[in-house]
Amino acid sequence: MTRHCKPRWVLLLGFGDSPEPHRTLMLASFAAAHPELQIDPHTVRCGRIPAVASHDPQRLRQIVMRAVQQRTAAQGKRIDPRRLCVHLCPTIGDGFRGAVVACLDLHDRAPGAGPPADDAGVAATSTTVSGQRAQAPPFETGNISHSADASDSVGPRQSVQTVRARAVALATAIRASIVRHPVISGVTTGIVLSALIGLAWLAPRTERPSEPNASDANGTAMTTSGDAERTNRAGDKPPMQPSNPAPPPPRFAVGQCRVYTSEPGFYVAVDGQPARFEDQRPAVTPCSVTVQQGSHTITVFRDGFADASQIVDVRDDAETSFTVGSDIHKGNSELLAAPWLNLAARRPVPLETINSSGRELDPFLTPDGLTLIFASDRPAGRGIYLATRRSVFHPFAPPQLLHRSPDTPASPSLGAEQQLLVYVVPEKARLWGLVRDNPLAPFGDKRPLRYSERLDVHWESAQVLHDGRLYWVENRNGRRTTFVAPFLPDIPDGRTDTGVARELDEAELRQIRDELVAQIERSIDLIGSADRVTRQRTVFTPRTHRKVIVRLVARIDPARRKVAEAELLLIDPQTQRAIPRSDDRPGPLAARTLYVQRDLDRAYEQVEPFALPGVHPRMTPDGLRQYGFDGRHLWRARRLSVREPFSAPETIAELQLEGFVPSAGHRQFWVSHDEQWLVYCDDPQQTADLYLVRLFYGPHWGVAPVAKPIPQKQFVEIVQRPKNTNGTTAAEAPDEPFDPMEKPPVQTPTDPRAVPLAYADHWKLFRTLLVERKYDEAEALIRAARGNPQFDRWHELLDWDADDLQAIREFWADIDRGLSTFEPGEPVRIGMTRVEFVKYADGMLIGKGRTREISKPVRDLDLPDLMALFDRSGVADSPAGRWRRAVFRFYDRNAEAPDFQRDEDAAPKLAERVARRLLQLAQAEAVRNNIAAAVQLIRRIERLAPQERLTDVPAVAEARQLLETFYERVNWRRTGNRNWIRQGTTFRADYAPASRDALLVSENEYESFELSLEYRITHDLGQGGVFFHYDGKGQPYNGGYKVHLANDAGKGVDAYSSGALFGIQAPSENAAKPKGTWNRLRIVVRDTTRLTVELNGRRVLQTTLGDPERPTKGFVALDGTVGGIEYRNVLVTELPAGS
């Protein structure tokens, strides 16, 4: 604006009250903010508009502009909004609020027009003032000035001293005029002076735009209430553009990874995300994939083959190859079978495993998208729940109650380096935190974070970031305000006195650093899976004798068992703040290291309001992206630092979600870190069910794996030459005489244990024929078996097969009798169609539909239709009828166990017969030392009946007695000085004292084997695992592999999670149970290299062991180095070759 300009007119507006009593203060406030404008008292008029509860400057500006334009339009005139300069005044006296509107000169559509005259609303007189006119720039948020509680603006060309001097001079002049006025008292004079001088001294806050606070740029805390609340019923509308510019687009360092398979045509996935060509077709090998630089898991998959994965470190260029037969094996692809792999975008799916008869509220997704945390008041208990899944394309497992709450919780979030889970209790305006010592430990008791004693306040939502910064929303009488508090007061980087640091000798600090690094490396076995640790020492400065803590923050490379990166910090013991050793801020490790358990009592003391778009915090863990959704538009706002305001929101997707009802008082939804998924609560006030929506067919934030085809490379098969008896290879052996006669190939002897038992194959085929309803073939199969000498020991079982087949034939005779009771015209169901019965002849059921006759062979009817016909037979309630129905149902649906719920009377007898079959097979396998097969048969026996009905099946107890004898077949030898405690089949390693190389090592070596055991963690920091292919020499990490076990239930997965191939490959999901709970572990190694890991019945890892530096045969060992773990029912069995 040009200096010393006169507005055409000035309008004082009061929000609900007349501005006349506050005329002088309002003009003084305007003059302090706009000293370049000279106000003519004759052009000033007063008016008022309805009261406005909102304190959002953007919202207030809209209300003022609309009021002025409506009044001018009522007089048939239009005014260009670019002519209006709006100034929001500070709150005056007992709560009066108002605004000053100045009309500047511009070539508009109605020259000379002034504000309208309206007795009920805005009253002013149209006045033309000669003199110099101000030229207004295009109307933007920057034209709004607001003082005191609305954050003063100082123009870029005005110095702070100029503003202060003019404000003080203006205050002096107004004081002189007020003193002469007989009405106004001396108290009013003091208020005026204080307000004006305060305005002047507020100006320096805007001198440093690089350090904005909660009120800078965006104004005061964004709120919605009153009129603003009514206009925002549809949800989070994108707020008006703030004054700070949008950050530049992010840039990610990328590299290329070439992927080959010996047979082209395998699909490629990067970190579980399928790669695509540029035309959006699924990428297949051979191809080159563009990925973000760093370590990635490359997976190849195809129908008919098990998924194969390798970890590749991608910098600028990388390559990986997979060979069918050695790296890739026949099997089923878990990724192709994932239910949501091809889920259509923008179509919601209900989370059926999560939703209940209660309410599921405020979902939160961890950055990897594998853990869902939400609040619920379901019948299982009110509190915070957690659910995990194996990949982003799989449904969540049933949730676990993480914390029970007597009050209704809301808005849970996980942050502070995963050490702090925060939730809010809205009715009591309280913030609670669940704390743990490290990301692998369980959460302890809840801790209070903040609370309010006001009765008119509700705290509706909250979020904690990874740096511990906490945001929450307060609703006071319908007015919502977002607040923020850092975990501890921010360290003023670059401005702390570094005199203390200068007194310390750098050589001494380097020596301390080396000693602390050596101390950490000596304790790596005790540290376990933690990747970041700290050690510290106290020193005194030589001149001032001040105490200083020298703290080392180190990152461990578990594979090399070394400290990969270390940073030395100087800490003031009084404030626990870092003392910069130079003008630079502390490094990244220091900035991300939090001591939540220790510092929580004095955390979150520095609180201030914050202008958060969308009000409720829905930010990424780093706090740099915030999301909002109004029921149709999903938008994102960004910033470059947590100390800056957010930029203007931008729409990233348009959605139409049926049943979604926006709720202003709930967080309600969450966007995944890569912006590919949206999880939301449909209607928090009514159904309150959770849904998932796929937003895009791949990551929308970050680097999506995009591939391009490349030529196939030649695969060379490397053959290991056998050793001769003299120790030389075949190539080194002396020449032998040439033999022109072709010799027959050498036949490798087959392990007899790999050949199935005769009755095992027979019963499998027998059940298949009954499922296919080929009863004549099944009868022929029994006849053939009775004439085969291999079945001499199985005659009793063959008799049972014949009895079952006869029961099934009689069941079909009952169906015929049931059909004979139908009369023409009687309703009957054929599949999904209800028809009128016509007749039943020659095995065909004929019915009349609406337009035509429908016929279907009775043998082809589904099981539910057959059960309905059987109920008409007249024998359904007799003991013989119930037995025939139970036998038919068991075989026809190829069930694992009889249906104890529907066939309560007949099920125990049928289960006992099935169990006896399996038990005799298990005993036969044990006789030929095929223990692994026997154990699998016993596990099937245990699943034949519900837990409460196992006593009705006596064969189950006999099978368990047989299993107990297997545990004694494995002998263990102890290494290290660990005092293992053995009780029956249980081995316990207490957490303290820890022992280096404390193992229980098997007596025999294994190449291909199966291991099953149960374990439980007994200490917060307890961990262990199973080593295999261990050569028995030195460190087991270097001479074998390890499947890791830790106290990490509910955590994200990495190469150090429970079920991981330690330091090599992460599991597909975290299936571990909490501390103190027994877990079931099964490890299978086939053909020396094919590894499968199952945890609690879920397959979490399937990979190929391809490290040529590690042995392919060795001992199995239970890890007790750290301790805090128990093992029981440990069983290791060798797998026959070719099994």
**Nearest residue to 719 via CA among 987, 325, 1024, 393:** 325
Classify burial at 783, counting beta carbons within 10 Å of its beta carbon; exposed 0-12, middle 13-18, buried 19 or more.
exposed
In a domain, residue 110? The reply is yes
- If asked whether residues 800 and 946 sit together in one domain, one would say yes
DSSP state of 715: P
Residue 474: band (very low, low, confident or very high) from pLDDT cuts 50, 70, 90: very high
| The total number of residues written for the chain in this structure | 1139
- If asked whether residues 635 and 683 sit together in one domain, one would say yes
Strand ranges across the sheet with 98-103:
44-49, 9-15, 98-103, 84-88, 145-146
**Nearest residue to 45 via CA among 85, 65, 18, 17:** 18
Contacts (Cβ under 8 Å, ≥6 apart) of 744: none
Can you tell me the distance from the alpha carbon of 977 to that of 979, in angstroms, rounded to the nearest whole number? 6
Residue 190's pLDDT is: 52
Cα distances from 243 to residues 57, 59, 135, 140, 183, in angstroms, run 12, 14, 20, 8, 42
Copy the structure tokens of residue 468: 């511990």
Q: Looking at the predicted structure, is the pLDDT value of residue 836 above 80?
A: yes
Residue 526's pLDDT is: 57
- If asked whether residues 57 and 160 sit together in one domain, one would say yes
Residue 1013: band (very low, low, confident or very high) from pLDDT cuts 50, 70, 90: very high
E-strand stretches of 416-452: 420-425, 430-435, 446-451
Q: Looking at the predicted structure, is the pLDDT value of residue 1115 above 70?
A: yes
In a domain, residue 567? The reply is yes
Residue 531's pLDDT is: 60
More confident residue, 534 or 728: 534
Copy the structure tokens of residue 704: 């999506």
The domain containing residue 65 runs over which residues? 9-207
Residue 900's pLDDT is: 79
In a domain, residue 1? The reply is no
More confident residue, 994 or 426: 426
For 478-494, write each residue's pLDDT tens digit.
899 999 998 876 544 33
Lowest mean pLDDT: which of 87-91, 366-370, 584-588, 1075-1079?
584-588
Question: pTM for the full model?
Answer: 0.49
For 245-267, write each residue's pLDDT tens digit.
778 888 888 999 999 999 999 99
- If asked whether residues 187 and 259 sit together in one domain, one would say no
Strands 706-709 vs 276-277: parallel, antiparallel or unpaired: parallel
Contacts (Cβ under 8 Å, ≥6 apart) of 770: 778, 804, 805, 808, 891, 892
Q: Number of folded domains in the chain? A: 6
Lowest mean pLDDT: which of 224-238, 887-901, 909-923?
224-238
Can you tell me the distance from the alpha carbon of 598 to that of 534, in angstroms, rounded to the nearest whole number? 14
Residue 747's pLDDT is: 54
Classify burial at 362, counting beta carbons within 10 Å of its beta carbon; exposed 0-12, middle 13-18, buried 19 or more.
buried
**Nearest residue to 12 via CA among 78, 92, 98:** 98
| Cβ pair 837, 827 in contact under 8 A | yes
In a domain, residue 724? The reply is no
- If asked whether residues 1000 and 1096 sit together in one domain, one would say yes
Can you tell me the distance from the alpha carbon of 571 to that of 598, in angstroms, rounded to the nearest whole number? 15
In a domain, residue 193? The reply is yes
Q: What is the CATH number of the domain that holds 420?
A: 2.120.10.30
Residue 737's pLDDT is: 45
- If asked whether residues 279 and 155 sit together in one domain, one would say no
| Cβ pair 164, 200 in contact under 8 A | yes
Residue 971's pLDDT is: 82
In a domain, residue 562? The reply is yes
Residues 110-117, mean pLDDT to the nearest whole number:
35
Copy the structure tokens of residue 133: 């006119």
Residues 1083-1108, mean pLDDT to the nearest whole number:
88
- If asked whether residues 934 and 950 sit together in one domain, one would say yes
Copy the structure tokens of residue 1086: 């086939």
Lowest mean pLDDT: which of 105-109, 247-251, 898-902?
105-109
Residue 577: band (very low, low, confident or very high) from pLDDT cuts 50, 70, 90: low
| Cβ pair 533, 563 in contact under 8 A | no
More confident residue, 137 or 196: 196
Contacts (Cβ under 8 Å, ≥6 apart) of 513: 552, 566, 568
For 325-360, write each residue's pLDDT tens digit.
878 888 889 899 899 998 989 999 999 999 998 999
| Cβ pair 1136, 753 in contact under 8 A | yes
Lowest mean pLDDT: which of 20-24, 73-77, 622-626?
73-77
Cis peptide leading into residue 448 (ω within 30°): no
- If asked whether residues 1116 and 1022 sit together in one domain, one would say yes
Can you tell me the distance from the alpha carbon of 464 to that of 456, in angstroms, rounded to the nearest whole number? 24
Residue ending a domain, among 560, 593, 626, is: 593
Residue 862's pLDDT is: 84
Lowest mean pLDDT: which of 30-44, 668-682, 692-706, 918-932?
30-44
Q: Looking at the predicted structure, is the pLDDT value of residue 653 above 80?
A: yes
Strand ranges across the sheet with 349-350:
349-350, 690-694, 677-681, 669-671
- If asked whether residues 417 and 319 sit together in one domain, one would say no
Copy the structure tokens of residue 897: 């166990």
- If asked whether residues 779 and 889 sit together in one domain, one would say yes
Can you tell me the distance from the alpha carbon of 277 to that of 299, in angstroms, rounded to the nearest whole number? 16
- If asked whether residues 311 and 363 sit together in one domain, one would say no
Q: What is the CATH number of the domain that holds 305?
A: 2.60.40.4130
DSSP state of 908: H
Q: Looking at the predicted structure, is the pLDDT value of residue 726 above 80?
A: no
Residue 993: band (very low, low, confident or very high) from pLDDT cuts 50, 70, 90: low
Q: Looking at the predicted structure, is the pLDDT value of residue 197 above 60?
A: no
- If asked whether residues 956 and 985 sit together in one domain, one would say no
E-strand stretches of 929-1021: 972-975, 981-983, 986-989, 999-1006, 1009-1017
Lowest mean pLDDT: which of 186-190, 227-231, 508-512?
227-231
Would the CA dihedral through 759, 764, 765, 767 be positive or negative?
positive
Would the CA dihedral through 436, 599, 587, 619 be positive or negative?
positive
Residue ending a domain, among 549, 574, 593, is: 593
What average pLDDT does the chain have? 78
Residue 901's pLDDT is: 78
The 3-state secondary structure of 225-284, one letter per residue: CCHHHHHCCCCCCCCCCCCCCCCCCCCCCEEEEEEEECCCCCEEEECCEECEECCCCECE
The 3-state secondary structure of 858-896, one letter per residue: HHHCCHHHHHHHHCCCCCCCCHHHHHHHHHHHHHHCCCC
Residue ending a domain, among 676, 709, 742, is: 709
Q: What is the CATH number of the domain that holds 974?
A: 2.60.120.560
In a domain, residue 194? The reply is yes
In a domain, residue 876? The reply is yes
